[in-house]
C-alpha cells in the first residue's frame, strides 16, 4: 500500500517555513542530504496520542515504553516527560529498539514515594532514522530495572533511573507506523523497484513530505540497491515549495545529469512522495516535469485494475476461475483451455506467451509458445522441472533439479542462477527484480539485477518469516509483502513484510495442508490495509481453495469441489 500525500496540507509550506523547520536559516541554502537524511530529527507532529506518567508505577513505565514513537523531533522531550530530571538518551542515528513480549512488574516499593519496576521482554528489531526496520533473526533478551519516585500519594510518578537506549513497545510500533515505500529506477528500464520504509502515521502532511524527500535523496537501502539505483545524483538537496497553488519539488543536483534522466527522477519523486495531484519538478532552477503520478503509472510493474481472475490445471487442461464459475473457455485469453497430456504447471506472460511444464513417460520438458499448435520444446533442460516464471518476453525462469535456471524462451541460452540448490517453490515479483523461493522448509527473497546484455546477477537472500517453519509455498501478496504457507503454532498461512517487521496471520487455516499458492498482488496505488490482492488460491488437501480475508472457501464447479493443481495468476 502506498501512503498518499495530502496536497492541500503540503501546499501550506513556504520556502522560509521549510528552511527554518529543518533548522536552516532562511537566508541560506539547505544542507546537502548525503548517505542518510539529515532532517530525521526535524519533523513535526499533529494530534497524536500522548503518553505520560500516572499515579501507578507500572502503567507509568508501560506508557514510557510507548512514548518514543512519533515525530522524531520531539522524541527526547516525550521521554523526559517521565523523568525526574532531564536525561540524555541514545543518539537518534542508532535508532529505536523494538520491544516485544513485554512484562512490567513491581519489584519493590518503599512506602508511597519510591518504587522499583522490572521490565522484561524481547528486542525484536530496530527502527532506523531512514525509515527502515532491521529485525533480529533471533530476538535478544531484555531485562532492565526502572526506579521511580514521587513526593506524595497524589503525585504522578517520575523515573529517576532508567536505561539510556530509546525503546518502543513493538505493538505500539505496528499500530502507529505504516508503509511509506520509496521507489528507485531499475537499470536499462522504465521500471521502478520499491524500497520498504515505515513512517509515523500522524505526522503533518508537510513534515511527512520533507521526511520522505530526505529519505529519497539518501538513496536505496542495500537490498534494493542491488536491483536499482537512485536516478537523483548523490549530494542532491531538495525542498517542497508552494507556488500559486502548485506543489514544486525543487532540487539542487549534486552533479549534472543527462536530460533523459529527468523522467526517472520525476517518476521516483511522484511514487516515493505519493503525489497523486499535480506537481512541478525543478532541477537546478529548470522545470523538468509538470504532471502527477498518473503520468508514471506504467513505471510500476503491477498493472492497475487487475481482474480478480485466477487459473489452475486440472485434467491436463488450463482452467479459468473467477468469483462466478470455472471454465475452459475465455473470449479474452486463447490459452484458457490449453490442453496437453502430462500438463503439470503453466505460466503466462502479459503478452499471452505460455510456458508449460509437461511430463511424458516420467520426463519433464519445458514448452513455450502462444498456442497448443505453436509450442516449442526447450531441449536445453533435462532435470525435474517446476514453477516456470516469465522474467521478460524472451526469458523464463524455472526450477531445474532444485536450481533456479533462466533460459531463453526460444531455446539456447541457459543461465544457472546463484541462489539455492534445493529449491521447491518459486515466485518472481512483478518487477522481475525480486525472487522469492522456498528451500529447506524456509522462505527466502533475493534481489536480482539484469545488465544490458540480459545477464542476471543474484544478491544475498533474506529469510522471510524467521519463526515460520515447514514452508511449502510463497506468492506475492503486494510489492512489499509475501504470502508464506508454512507452520507457526496452529496457523498455516501468513502475509509477511519483506523486512520481517510485520506478520499478519490468515485466519481459519488450521487443518489445511497447503501444497501450492498463487495470488494477485495488491494495487500499489490503492489504499489496501490488508496488503493483499485478489484472488488468492491455494491447493490444500487435494482441493483448490480461494482464500478470502475471512478464511478459505472451496472452489466449486457446480456442486462439486474442484481438485485443481498448480494455480497461477497473470499480470495483465
What is the C-alpha to C-alpha distance for residues 197 and 271, in angstroms, rounded to an integer?
Answer: 13
Q: 46-55, 182-191, 454-463, 518-527 — which is least confidently predicted?
A: 46-55
* Collapsed DSSP state (helix, strand, coil) of residue 38: coil
Q: What is the mean pLDDT of residues 75-90?
A: 95
The model's pLDDT over 147-169, given as tens digits with 9 standing for 90+, comes to 999 999 999 999 999 999 999 99
What is the C-alpha to C-alpha distance for residues 232 and 254, in angstroms, rounded to an integer?
Answer: 8
Pairing of strands 96-110, 167-169: parallel
**What residue segments make up the domains of the chain, in order of their start?**
7-44+178-299, 57-176, 310-568
The model's pLDDT over 189-236, given as tens digits with 9 standing for 90+, comes to 899 999 999 999 999 999 999 999 999 999 999 999 999 999 999 999
The model's pLDDT over 432-489, given as tens digits with 9 standing for 90+, comes to 999 999 999 999 999 999 998 889 999 999 999 999 999 999 999 999 999 999 999 9
The CATH classification number of 57-176 equals: 3.10.450
The model's pLDDT over 226-271, given as tens digits with 9 standing for 90+, comes to 999 999 999 999 999 988 889 999 999 999 999 999 999 999 999 9
Asked if the domains at 57-176 and 310-568 fall in one CATH topology, the answer is no
The model's pLDDT over 20-50, given as tens digits with 9 standing for 90+, comes to 333 333 333 333 333 333 333 334 444 678 9
Q: 292-306, 314-328, 373-387 — which is least confidently predicted?
A: 373-387
pLDDT of residue 4: 54
Point out which residues pair with 439 in neighbouring strands.
423, 442
What are 77's three cell numbers? 522531550
For the cut 90, the answer to whether the pLDDT of residue 302 exceeds it is yes
Q: What is the mean pLDDT of the chain?
A: 91
The CATH classification number of 310-568 equals: 2.120.10.30
Q: What is the mean pLDDT of residues 314-326?
A: 94
pLDDT of residue 34: 33
The model's pLDDT over 360-394, given as tens digits with 9 standing for 90+, comes to 999 999 999 987 678 999 988 989 999 999 999 89
Run of H or E residues at 135: strand 133-149
pLDDT of residue 106: 95
For the cut 80, the answer to whether the pLDDT of residue 411 exceeds it is no
* Collapsed DSSP state (helix, strand, coil) of residue 353: coil
Amino acid at each position: 500500500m502506498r501512503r498518499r500525500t495530502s496536497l492541500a496540507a503540503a501546499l501550506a509550506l513556504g520556502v522560509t517555513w521549510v528552511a527554518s523547520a529543518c533548522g536552516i536559516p532562511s537566508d541560506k541554502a539547505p544542507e546537502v542530504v548525503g548517505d542518510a537524511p539529515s532532517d530525521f530529527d526535524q519533523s513535526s507532529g499533529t494530534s497524536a496520542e500522548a503518553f505520560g506518567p500516572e499515579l501507578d508505577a507500572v502503567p507509568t513505565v508501560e506508557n514510557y515504553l510507548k512514548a518514543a514513537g512519533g515525530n522524531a523531533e520531539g522524541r527526547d522531550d516525550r521521554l523526559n516527560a517521565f523523568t525526574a530530571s532531564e536525561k540524555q538518551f541514545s543518539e537518534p542515528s542508532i535508532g529505536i529498539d523494538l520491544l516485544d513480549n513485554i512484562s512490567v512488574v513491581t519489584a519493590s516499593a518503599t512506602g508511597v514515594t519510591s518504587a522499583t519496576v522490572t521490565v522484561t521482554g524481547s528486542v525484536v528489531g530496530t527502527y532506523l532514522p531512514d525509515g527502515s526496520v532491521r529485525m533480529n533473526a533471533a530476538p535478544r533478551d531484555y531485562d532492565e530495572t526502572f526506579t521511580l519516585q514521587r513526593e506524595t500519594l497524589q503525585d504522578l510518578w517520575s523515573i529517576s533511573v532508567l536505561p539510556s537506549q530509546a525503546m518502543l513497545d513493538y505493538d505500539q510500533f505496528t499500530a502507529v507506523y505504516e508503509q511509506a515505500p520509496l521507489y528507485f529506477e531499475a537499470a536499462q528500464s522504465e521500471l521502478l523497484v520499491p524500497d520498504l520504509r515505515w513512517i509515523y502515521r500522524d505526522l503533518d502532511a508537510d513534515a511527512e513530505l520533507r521526511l520522505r524527500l530526505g529519505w529519497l535523496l539518501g538513496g536505496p537501502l542495500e537490498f534494493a540497491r542491488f536491483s536499482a539505483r537512485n536516478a537523483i545524483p548523490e549530494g542532491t538537496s531538495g525542498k517542497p515549495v508552494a507556488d500559486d497553488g502548485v506543489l514544486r519539488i525543487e532540487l539542487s543536483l549534486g552533479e549534472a545529469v543527462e536530460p533523459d534522466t529527468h523522467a526517472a527522477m520525476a517518476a521516483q519523486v511522484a511514487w516515493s512522495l505519493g503525489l497523486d495531484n499535480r506537481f512541478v519538478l525543478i532541477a537546478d532552477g529548470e522545470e523538468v516535469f509538470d504532471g502527477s503520478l498518473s503520468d508514471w503509472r506504467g513505471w510500476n510493474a503491477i498493472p492497475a485494475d487487475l481482474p480478480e481472475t485466477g487459473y489452475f490445471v486440472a485434467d491436463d487442461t488450463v482452467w479459468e476461475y473467477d468469483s462466478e464459475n470455472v471454465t475452459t473457455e475465455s473470449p479474452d485469453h486463447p490459452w484458457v483451455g490449453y490442453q496437453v497430456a502430462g500438463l503439470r504447471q503453466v505460466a503466462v506472460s502479459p503478452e499471452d506467451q505460455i510456458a508449460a511444464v509437461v511430463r511424458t513417460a516420467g520426463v519433464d520438458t519445458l514448452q513455450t509458445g502462444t498456442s497448443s499448435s505453436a509450442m516449442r520444446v526447450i531441449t536445453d533442460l533435462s532435470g525435474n522441472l517446476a514453477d516456470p516464471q516469465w522474467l521478460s518476453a524472451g526469458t523464463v525462469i524455472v526450477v531445474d533439479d532444485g536450481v533456479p535456471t533462466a533460459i531463453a524462451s526460444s531455446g539456447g541460452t541457459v543461465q544457472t542462477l546463484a541462489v539455492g540448490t534445493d529449491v521447491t517453490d518459486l515466485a518472481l515479483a512483478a518487477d522481475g527484480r525480486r525472487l522469492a523461493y522456498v528451500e529447506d522448509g524456509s522462505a527466502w527473497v533475493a534481489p536480482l539485477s539484469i545488465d544490458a546484455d540480459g545477464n542476471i546477477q543474484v544478491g544475498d537472500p533474506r529469510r522471510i518469516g524467521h519463526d515460520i517453519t515447514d514452508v511449502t509455498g510463497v506468492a506475492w501478496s503486494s510489492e512489499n509483502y509475501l504470502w508464506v504457507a508454512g507452520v507457526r503454532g496452529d496457523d498455516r498461512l501468513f502475509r509477511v513484510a519483506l523486512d520481517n517487521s510485520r506478520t499478519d496471520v490468515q485466519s481459519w487455516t488450521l487443518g489445511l495442508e497447503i501444497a501450492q499458492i498463487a495470488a494477485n498482488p495488491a494495487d500499489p496505488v490503492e489504499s489496501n490495509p490488508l496488503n493483499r490482492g485478489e484472488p488468492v488460491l491455494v491447493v490444500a488437501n487435494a482441493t483448490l481453495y480461494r482464500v478470502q480475508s475471512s478464511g478459505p472457501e472451496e472452489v466449486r464447479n457446480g456442486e462439486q469441489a474442484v481438485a485443481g493443481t498448480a494455480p497461477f495468476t497473470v499480470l495483465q
